Every structure is written in C-alpha cells, then in structure tokens.
Structure 1
Amino acid sequence: MPDSGRSALLGLLRIRELSILLVTVAAAGYFTATSDAFNSAENYQTIAQYVAPWAIIATGQVMLLICGEIDLSAGFVFTLAPFTLMLFSVNGAPLWLALVGAVLVSTLIGVVNGLIRTVLGIPSFITTLGMAFLLQGLVLIISDARPVGAPSEGWLVGVFGGARWSEFAWAVVIVALGQLLLSATRFGIHTRATGGNPVGAAESGIPVNRVKIVNFALTSTLAGLAGILQGTRVGSYDPTNGGFTMMFFAVASAVIGGTALLGGSGTVVGAFLGALLLGIVFDGFNLTGVSANAFNVVLGAAILLAMVLNVSLSLLRKRLAAREL
C-alpha cells in the first residue's frame, strides 16, 4: 500500500467511533426504507426517550470501565433517586432542595461503593451487586411497591424532564462534558492510566484509589439524575423501573461504543452512539412488527461483535503504526 494510503487508513482507524457511526447510519437507513413512520418528529422523540437514560448512565459507566471497574447498582440508584426526592418533598423540603438532596444521596451511594472497593479490596462486581440488591429492597420499602405521581408544576419540572426534549438535552450536554472530562483533563488521563496500567499509575504518583472513588460517585450521580429525569418525563415514579435492565443497557451502550471491559480505553461519544444504535434498533423493531424477543438476540450479537471488532481494530492499528516507524 502507498505511504499516503497507509497514512489515511491509519488516520481513519484512529477514529474509534467510526465503525459504530457507520453501523448506526446503516441501521437508520434500513428502517427508513422499511417503515414510513420512522422519519417523523414523533418517532425521533420516541428514539430520544430510549436513548437519553442509557446515554446518561453510560457516561459514568465508561469512566468506570476505563479505570477497570464496573457498577452493577447504577440501575437501582436510577430507581431510588426519584423516591428519595419525593421523601424529602413530602417532609417539607422545597422541590429544588429535594432535588439536590436526592442527587447527593445518589452521589453518596457511589462513594460508599468506591470506598468498599478501594479500602476493603472487594471486587467492584461483588460490591455493586450487593449494593444493587440492598437498594432494590430499600426502594420497595420506601414506595410500598407502588408507583407515585411525579411533580407536575413549575419551571423546575420542565427543566428536569417535564419539557418535551429536556431529558435528551441533558443527555447531550452530559455526554459532551463527559467526553471533555475524559479527553481534555488531567483527571481523564489519570482514569485511562489507572485502567491501562494500575501499578505503573500508582508508582508515577497518580492517586489510583481516589480516581476510582470519584468515578464510582460520578456514575451513581448520573444514574440518580437519569432516574429523576425519566420519572418526571413519564409523570410517575415506578419502583419496577430501572434495575438491572437499565444498567445492562448502559453497559451495552458503552461496550458497543468501543469501551474495553478490561479497562484503559473507550470514549463517551462512542457510548452515546452505542445507545443511539440500540434505540434505533429497538424502535425500528417495534415499527416493523418484529418480536421484542429478537431484540435480545440483536443486543447479544452486537456486544459480541463489538468486542471482536474492537480487538481486531486495536491489533490492526498497532501493525500499521509499527510499519510507519
């Protein structure tokens, strides 16, 4: 291959999000051709409603996965946060203060996860799995296993999920800030180093445990915020909403978007595209009358294919880079 062609190919391969972007565009094109209802403002909003909570939680999960950890309790923080807000509200707190309190409780859960993982050395899979069941029981106790109505009046309600596109707008802003944090700050460099080479990172002076705790806190904070946004948009807070399903969709979005499960690499933008692809496929299946059970087949195949593709592209990048030297 000529040098100019090799350089161009290597440049394209360095764009980690290129493959998932092409697949997302292809999926959108397919459903546009097979369903007249796909390209409509109402359907775009439906897709945005699928994508927003997955993308918000995936932003935190990407940071955690990159530093070599995972949070299985994020879906239950998603479920708990709205009920925490209502608990503060019915006890006399103004809505804005109840909102702040619910988000802070979510952050505290993440800090506890991080401390258990780093201080006691318990693997994050076990730590957050235990926290997930604890939070699930707590939600059922607080809610008496029944949904409650969400606040419906005031500008704050509109900003935090009540307005038509506010939930998706939050997702776009959070993804942009998450990518900026990961790619343009010292903390992002420390996060990558912690997952890529934890021993070397610690020896170079990076506070590895602190980085992990902050990322656990970030993931729980975003999960709690996503739960409040989602419940406010729907108009009710449901104790059966979220859970492991929400968490797995967020992790799937991150993995499909190119985040390595073993840590060290990934992008928030890639996770957003992964969530967008899942949202398009899920919506397209509904429009074309395909059984919902088939979506799980597509989801599993997409995760496996994404992992194989990521490994293959990584090896190809290394080979082409070695030839340039």
Structure 2
Amino acid sequence: HQIQLTIFAWQRLRLISLFLISETHKVYRQKLEELTNLQTTCSSSISKQRKCLKDLRTENCIFLLTDHLLTPQSKELKLITDIKSQIKEKGNVFFDMEAYLPKKNGLYLNLVLGNVNVTLLSDHAKFAYKDEYEKFKLYMTIILMFGAITCLFFLNYRVTDEIFNFLLVWYYCTLTIRESILMSNGSRIKGWWVSHHYVSTFLSGVMLTWPEGPMYQMFRSQFLAFSIYQSFVQFLQYYYQSGCLYRLRTLGERNQLDLTVEGFQSWMWRGLTFLLPFLFFGHFWQLYNSVTLFRLGRHEDCKEWQVFMLALTFLILFLGNVLTTLKVVHQKVQKNQDTVQKND
C-alpha cells in the first residue's frame, strides 16, 4: 500500500511539473514571437530612416554650396551646420540601436560562419564576449612569445617552426572572426587596425608555406626575434590600454565594447604616450624585415616566391602602421593646440 501511495504521489508530482513547464514554455514561445516581431519592426523603421538620411545628404545640394554662398555670420549657415551635425548624430543613434537587433552578416562572416545570427541581445552578453576576446588575446600573446623564444634559442627544427607559424595563422584568423562578431554587436573597430589582422594572417600563411632552404635560414632568426619583440609590445599595450579604457568607461567617455588594439589611438593619449617609442621601433623593424627580404630576393640562390611576397607584405604593414599612428598623433596635437588657443 505504501509503495502504491509513493508511485501515485510521484506521478502526480510529475504531471504538475510537466503542466507548469508546458505553461512556462508556452509563455516563452509567445514572448519570443513578440520579440521577433518587434525586432523586425525596429529594423524596418531604422532602414527607412537611414534611407531618408541618405537621400537628404545626396539630394540637398545646398550643403555643398554653403561655404561659397553664405557668410560665416549668416543664420542660414548656422542652421545648415546644425542640420549637418544632427544628421551625423542620428546616424550614431541608429548604429547603437542596430547593435541590439539581428542583422545580416558581412561578406567575411558569411563565408566563415554562413548566415548565422551572431547578435548578442544583452549588455551583459556583449561585455562578457568582449572580455573573453581580450583574455584570448592576452593568453595567446604570452603563448606566442614563449613559442618564439623556444624556436629561436632551444629548438632549431623545421617542424617546430611550422607549428609556430601555424599557431600564428590560427591566432590571426580567429581574431578576424571574433572582431567581425564584435563589430556586428556595436563595437566601433574601424580603419587600419581591422585590416592589420587580415594582412598579418596572410603574412603568417606565407611564412607557413616557405620551404626549408638557405633563404629561409637567413631570415629565420630575424623573424623570430621580431615575433618576440612584437609579443612583448602587445603585452605592454594590453595592460596599459585596458587600464586606460577602464578609466574612460568609468567616466562615461568610452563605449563598453571598445577594445585594445595593436596600434595607437587618440584615447590612449592620456598616460600612454610612452608607448610610442616602442611602437615606432616595432614599425621600423617591419621596414627592416622588408628591406632584408628584398635583398634576399636578389640573391642568386633565391627561387622561392615567398621571399618577395613577404617583403611586400612587411612593407604594407610598415606603411599602414606608421601612417595611421602619425595621423592619430597629428590629430591629437592639433586638437590640443586648438584647445589651448580657445582657452587663451
């Protein structure tokens, strides 16, 4: 009799639990459908507003004539300038809104992941993914530094070099995918520092395919030494940039999804200018690598296409890094001078 009561109580409890779960799941499905409809409505409205802003920029030709037809003191010029700033502000507002809405992936993510929704819908999920991305960069920087030290000083074997170069290819490929996901979620990564990782992926891939030979051995030690120095600088940048970003986020001056980068940006000016000599030394080391490879390419025993391709890639990295860093420094110095003049 006791066993029958126990079985009856268990069955009753199971039925009640199943009913409660079914009702909860039903409410969840309804809310999910409502959420999907709201997302579609918001996305459609934003697309229409963006189209209106685009038409306003292209069709209103008076924006192109204001500097020539209106005097600096005219009310019309001030009004049009105000409209321009409002249009720019609206674009930023729409960008922030779209960070919480599903959208189509770019070409790169479509090729890698397919048409998968990578939008994270909560601030907590976005920040957690960004934080995990930063930790991944830090851990991989340390691993690559010790890997380059091991290959340079302890293991002079082709197979260990291949493992190290393959790790570089995988690391930069992973960075490009993760950065694309962060950009889909509202992170304002842009400019050369996005392209930098694609170029670095290509360079690492060419290094991976470079066959063993005299030319490879002539450049091997220089490349590994450069990799050690690059990892060291990236390690410094991570700690100082992350501290700077933390302070700026606390003050409300930076977005929660802003990231540390391998270069120099305007927000790093406060307390981080000491990094500039380290950065410029690394940039000119890339130029030195390029010159060395171009010289190896003219060697009578050089038959590998990788030599010229690596020389060209290092030159592209040098030009992109130096020009972008100089541009940021010039803009910041000019802005500081303007601020001093206004205060005077």
TM-score, with length taken from structure 2: 0.23
Provide the TM-score with structure 1 as the length reference.
Answer: 0.24
CA radius of gyration, larger in: 2
Which structure ranks higher in relative contact order (CA pairs < 8 Å, sequence separation ≥ 6)? 1
